[in-house]
Amino acid sequence: MLVNRVERGRYLDSVALMRVSRKLEALAGVKSAAVMIGSPSNRELLRGAGLLAREGEAATPNDLIIAILAHDERSGAEAMRQADALLSETQVPAAGESLPRARGLGGGLGLMPQANLALISVPGEFAPHEARRALERGLHVLLFSDNVPLEDEAALKRLASERGLLMMGPDCGTAIIAGTPLAFANVLPRGDVGIVSASGTGLQEVASLVARMGGGISHGIGVGGRDLDARIGALGTLAAIDALAADPATAKIVLISKPPAPEVALRVLERIKGTSKPCVVCFLGMERDQSPMFATTLTEAAERTMGKKLSPLPSPSREMKKIKGARGEGLYCGGTLCAEAELIFRRKGLSGHRFVDLGDDEYTRGRPHPMIEPEIRNDHVARAMANPEVGLVLVDVVLGFGAHENPAGVLLRALKGPKPVVASVTGTEQDPQVWSRQVALLREAGVVVAASNAHAAELAASVIS
Amino acid sequence: MSNSIPNLLHGPVRVVNVGLAGFARDLAANGAAVVQVDWTPPAGGDPRLLAALATLGSSVDEANRVAMQKILAAEPVLADVRRAGELVAELDARRLLLHAGPPIEWARMCGPLKGAICGAIVFEGWAGDLASAEKLAAGGGVEFAPNHHFGAVGPMTGITTRSMPLLVVENRAFGNRAVCALNEGLGKVMRFGGNDAEVLARLAWLRDEFGLLLGKAIRNSGGIALNPLIARGLSMGDEMHQRNVACSSLLLRALAPSIARSAGDPASLAKAFEFMGSNDQFFLNVAMAMGKSMLDPARGIPGSTIVTTMSRNGTDFGIRVAALGDAWFTAPVEMPQGLYFSGFSAADANRDIGDSAILEAVGLGGFAMAAAPAVAGFVGAGGFADAVGYTRAMSEISAARNPKWAIPALEFAGTPTGIDVRRVVETGIAPAINTGIAHRMPGVGQVGAGVARAPLACFEKALLALADHAR
């Protein structure tokens, strides 16, 4: 039986709601459940999932919909009670928390008039408005939100450049500015390497590798996944290159992106060549250029920047030697890490293997990103572990602020059986999860942990081929 | 510009985090300066309102700066008390009766307003008794208009007629003035719809004796500067709407020598002192005239979205906005939430009424709640932390703070002043108004006190009109 309840005028952020939804779904007697803000797109999602009843149809974006599909009336009522308890928990601030709080950007600036950056993570349909207001008030912006129309992105980036402000994003998951990690960022030592990246996990991987090779980061500027699209024309990337070129703390510049449109690539490379600082460019997916400036993997980008090599590939385990010719399955939280692994397989001429980015929209509609809630990947991992056709499982583990507090621990719950698993851990020793502890957890469970994502893929590819 | 990219990269980064609170917690754990904005969809996600907000961008900020400069430059002085007809010529010229709130016809008026009007008609001698007064009013024999259309304000029913003595506050920075009737005291009074012989007799005394005496005393004193008086009152626990005990006492103290010199005999002097000294709300009406005198210079500033009037007639709540001059934006008035005197309950209450919300428009009352913890409990706002919460929330919808009116408990931050229509619509924070609650039947009087919210619909209508005007 389906129950909907609408709470008027109640708003909670979607991550909090998704966690509540997941806990409700885990209750006995509940087939499926979702707690969502009543926006038209959310109602569409609920309808598609068979979770929208008449009460929910009438909800507005100002309302909260609690939707529960239960086996019987009693379980439905019990789940509704649980929902109340879980929702009220989310509104209690953590113990000892004394963050100054306001209701709008203006109120926030009233509490901190000297603020210089707005970190914005609101639903995409409202994000351009909030970002525009922040820019108009002279704030630099990190726009975490995705689902922002391209024309809005271009307009925001033009406005920022008119005002001499930095516009990071939309869809910018991470940045490090002057030593301050923003959103999904790792804790990194300060240093002279400046990074410009259209990829969140790409930035995290390169910055973490640089740190683990003894280097440090001046700034990591995220520009959002579409910045090098022809319709945006790398407005954010060009501004970030200029910023790092002029920054006295930055001695070297690394640029990370998918391969851009040719005319955009030309413009970006011209700008790069115009700086007097050594640069490394990783257009992941583009084949090697003549110039030594280009790196073909994130690992190589970090190595070229540091002028040294990462530790060599680990030797394959005994089980791994038996799987030649078997199918590999890569199950990733980080989109760029997934793409990099797939690319390495392809470059080795391997085909027929499966790579899944569980952070893709297809898997995250109405659910938290697997970096926040790695549990989401466990179903897929468990299935791969049980599937006799799969010979080896390849995974990433991403650490840092914003990420789950113990992603390796969550992953281990799905690793049943003797099948070889190869992993890499993106992060640093200073991260809240502590890189070496996460690595140790995995190794104790028999997982082969490589020094980087590229190394993990190369190791897997070498035993399969 | 100070916030350049090189400055940002130089650090430190100071963040306003709009949305996911976890990011703010992480930043704080890293030692970064951060404030959390608990985001909700602006304007309730209404696309028409969002489009209007987008239209009213940075050019409005400049217009509002001009408006706030004018409001904060005010030098209000209590200058005189004179007969209404002398101050507002139209009151002598025709049978005109002024009332609180936006315009309203007889049929839609609430009980207390009708009761007060009937009493005033008898008081002016336009009818012999209340029954014929009601006939006259219902039959169109008297013309009704808002106080605000004639430079006046009045608490609760806010009745102003030609022979009533009015307080005159001059804004000496701009040479304008605003007027308000004298506060009649507590209990059975015309502002709560009272209209019996006792009420009319007190009004006659105010007209024939007290008003003349007070006017003479104020003129002889050279006028009482109100900015410093309010500043002292705030430091003594007044917010000037629900609590005026400090300011009433300070005013009496300032005027006492002049009143003594102006009084004819000890008995009338004693009666005047007794009247002023026994009425904690005596100063309310002075503060209201002051509020209007301060806000009027901002009326007609092109592009400005600052609220210049908030007022209620017991049926409708109305606001006026700087850029749109005389246009009212109205919505059904809400019920105040509060505490009731023993023997009364919400079932007895009239809807929100009075011009006194001019105080919130000028940054006092609910906006200055943090200065008046004693009020917080009385008006149902809870403890001191709640009082501070009110002032903080009101600062989110205000364009400025008034440096002359500091709140000691908030590290001497000024009272939040100048309601910006855009911020109200965007945040969904409705102005909080500290108010008395009238009985819904005429003549019973005050039955409680509480906090009323200005209806958001007024601000939404004003926002759409402002955007139309700007396009």
The token pair that represents B229 in the structure block: 């008086």
Quick one: average pLDDT of B352-373?
Answer: 96
B19/A13 touch (CB, cutoff 8 Å), yes or no: yes
Question: What SS3 class is residue A214?
Answer: coil
pLDDT for residue B441 is more than 90? no
pLDDT for residue B3 is more than 70? yes
Q: Which residue has the tokens 């490589």?
A: A450
Nearest CA in chain B to A12: B40
Nearest CA in chain B to A111: B35
Residue B80's DSSP bridge partners are: B168
The token pair that represents A258 in the structure block: 């998918």
Dihedral angle, C-alpha B463, B466, B467, B468, nearest 10 °: 120
What is the pLDDT at residue A92? Answer: 47
Query: Which residues 151-190 of chain B have a CB within 8 Å of chain A?
Result: none
Of the partner residues B3, B4, B39, the one whose CB lies closest to the CB of residue A122: B39
Residue count of chain A: 465
Residues of chain A with pLDDT under 50: 92-96
What is the pLDDT at residue A90? Answer: 59
Find all residues with CB under 8 Å of A283, minimum gap 6, and list them: A257, A258, A259, A260, A265, A294
Quote the CA–CA distance of A359 and A369 in Å, as a whole number: 6
Quote the CA–CA distance of A414 and A19 in Å, as a whole number: 20
Q: What pLDDT band is residue B337 in, cutting at 50, 70 and 90?
A: confident
Question: What SS3 class is residue A169?
Answer: coil
Interface test with A, best of B1, B7, B39 (most A CBs within 10 A): B39
Closest CA to B359 of B240, B198, B232: B240
Nearest CA in chain A to B52: A129
How many angstroms separate the CA of residue B18 from the nearest CA in chain A? 5
Find all residues with CB under 8 Å of A234, minimum gap 6, and list them: A223, A227, A228, A260, A264, A267, A268
Of the partner residues B8, B32, B396, the one whose CB lies closest to the CB of residue A103: B396
Which residues of chain A are within 8 Å of residue B33 when distances are taken between CB atoms?
A: 112, 115
Of the partner residues A116, A187, A242, the one whose CB lies closest to the CB of residue B13: A116
Contact B390, B366 (CB under 8 A): yes
B14/A116 touch (CB, cutoff 8 Å), yes or no: yes
Quote the CA–CA distance of A76 and A4 in Å, as a whole number: 10
Q: What is the ipTM of this complex?
A: 0.83
B201-244 residue pLDDT tens? 999 999 999 999 999 999 999 999 999 999 999 999 999 999 99
Give the amino acid at B319. Answer: I
Quote the CA–CA distance of B210 and B218 in Å, as a whole number: 12
What is the pLDDT at residue A93? Answer: 47
pLDDT for residue B288 is more than 50? yes
What is the pLDDT at residue A207? Answer: 98
What is the pLDDT at residue A98? Answer: 67
How distant, in Å, are the alpha carbons of A197, A223, B160 from that of B282? Answer: 66, 62, 17
> DSSP strand E in A48-151: where?
64-70, 101-102, 117-121, 140-143
What is the pLDDT at residue B379? Answer: 60
B154-181 residue pLDDT tens? 999 999 999 999 999 999 999 999 999 9
A118/B15 touch (CB, cutoff 8 Å), yes or no: yes
Q: What pLDDT band is residue B381 in, cutting at 50, 70 and 90?
A: low
A108/B36 touch (CB, cutoff 8 Å), yes or no: yes
A40-68 residue pLDDT tens? 878 888 898 899 999 999 888 778 899 99
How many angstroms separate the CA of residue B73 from the nearest CA in chain A? 22
Dihedral angle, C-alpha A159, A165, A171, A174, nearest 10 °: 180
Which residues of chain B are within 8 Å of residue A144 when distances are taken between CB atoms?
A: 19-20, 23
Task: Judge whether B35 is closer than 8 Å to chain A, CB to CB.
Answer: yes
Closest CA to A455 of A316, A347, A314: A314
Residue B152's DSSP bridge partners are: B179
Task: Judge whether B16 is closer than 8 Å to chain A, CB to CB.
Answer: yes
Find all residues with CB under 8 Å of A425, minimum gap 6, and list them: A396, A397, A398, A399, A408, A435, A438, A439, A442, A449
What is the pLDDT at residue B69? Answer: 97
Which residues of chain A are within 8 Å of residue B21 when distances are taken between CB atoms?
A: 13, 99
B21/A239 touch (CB, cutoff 8 Å), yes or no: no
List of long-range contacts for B120-129, beta carbons under 8 Å, 24+ apart: B120/B159, B120/B161, B120/B190, B120/B195, B121/B97, B122/B195, B122/B200, B123/B161, B123/B163, B123/B200, B123/B203, B123/B204, B124/B161, B124/B162, B124/B163, B126/B95
A115/B35 touch (CB, cutoff 8 Å), yes or no: yes
The token pair that represents A351 in the structure block: 């085909």
How many angstroms separate the CA of residue B370 from the nearest CA in chain A? 16
Average pLDDT over chain B, rounded to an integer: 93
What is the pLDDT at residue A322? Answer: 79
Interface test with A, best of B35, B46, B417 (most A CBs within 10 A): B35
Q: In what order do the strands lie in the sheet with A140-143?
A: A101-102, B33-37, B14-19, A117-121, A140-143, A167-168
Of the partner residues A11, A109, A132, the one whose CB lies closest to the CB of residue B16: A109
Nearest CA in chain A to B16: A118
What is the pLDDT at residue A290? Answer: 64
Report CA Rg, chain B.
Answer: 23
pLDDT for residue B152 is more than 70? yes
How many angstroms separate the CA of residue A153 from the nearest CA in chain B? 16
CB contact burial A312-349 (16+ within 10 A = b; e otherwise) = ebbebbebbeebeebebbbbbbbbbbbbbbbbbbeeee
A116/B3 touch (CB, cutoff 8 Å), yes or no: yes
Closest CA to B120 of B64, B49, B196, B188: B196
What is the CB-side half-sphere exposure of residue B231 using CA atoms within 13 A? 14
Residue A184 backbone class (left: φ over 0; alpha: ψ -120 to 50; beta: rest): beta
Nearest CA in chain A to B38: A103
